[in-house]
Amino acid sequence: MAVRAVRGAVQLDRDEAGHMDEQVGALLAEILERNDLAADDLISIWFTATPDLHSDFPAAAARKLGIVDVPLICAQELDIEGAMPRVVRVLAHIESDRPRAEIAHVYLGAAAALRKDIAQ
């Protein structure tokens, strides 16, 4: 079993805790589904949020999905002029037999514009 990394992002419509839970939860669920993963396949997840998001920790959405024994961490993205606002990014380390080229990175909604080269 190899260690792989999965990327993803979602842009929120507004900075509200419930909305963040919903959108980040959808992102995580899609990452798991597209890569045929279970919570036991997760090693750790790193979340970043743009500086305009203050309502909650993105990791709280993972806990609400039942991802409770996986190390999670949240950090703030760099505040770059002209960057897409209200974005939560994910970097998940996983165990998978899939070759690196077959890992499905997930960019939902408008966040697909962040990585057109790998968004699926």
Residues whose CB falls within 8 Å of the CB of residue 64, separated by 6 or more in sequence, listed in order: 21, 25
Phi, psi of 84 (to 5 degrees): -60, 130
**Res. 2: pLDDT tops 90:** yes
Q: How far apart are CA 70 and CA 67, in angstroms?
A: 6
Check residue 115 and give its pLDDT.
79
**Residue 7 annotated as part of some ligand binding site:** yes
**Res. 118: pLDDT tops 90:** no
Q: Which domain holds residue 63?
A: 2-115
What are the pLDDT digits (tens) for 78-107? 999 999 999 999 999 999 999 999 999 999
**Residue 4 annotated as part of some ligand binding site:** no
Question: Is 82 contained in some domain?
Answer: yes
**Res. 119: pLDDT tops 70:** no
**Res. 120: pLDDT tops 60:** no
The CATH number of residue 43's host domain is 3.30.1330.40
Question: Is 120 contained in some domain?
Answer: no
Q: How far apart are CA 51 and CA 87, in angstroms?
A: 9
Phi, psi of 118 (to 5 degrees): -125, -10
pTM: 0.94
Average pLDDT score over the chain: 95
What are 6's strand-pairing partners?
92
DSSP state of 74: E
Question: Is 73 contained in some domain?
Answer: yes
Count of domains observed in the chain: 1
- The confidence band for 35, taking pLDDT boundaries of 50, 70 and 90, is very high
Question: Is 38 contained in some domain?
Answer: yes
Question: Is 80 contained in some domain?
Answer: yes
Q: How far apart are CA 4 and CA 34, in angstroms?
A: 14
**Residue 14 annotated as part of some ligand binding site:** no
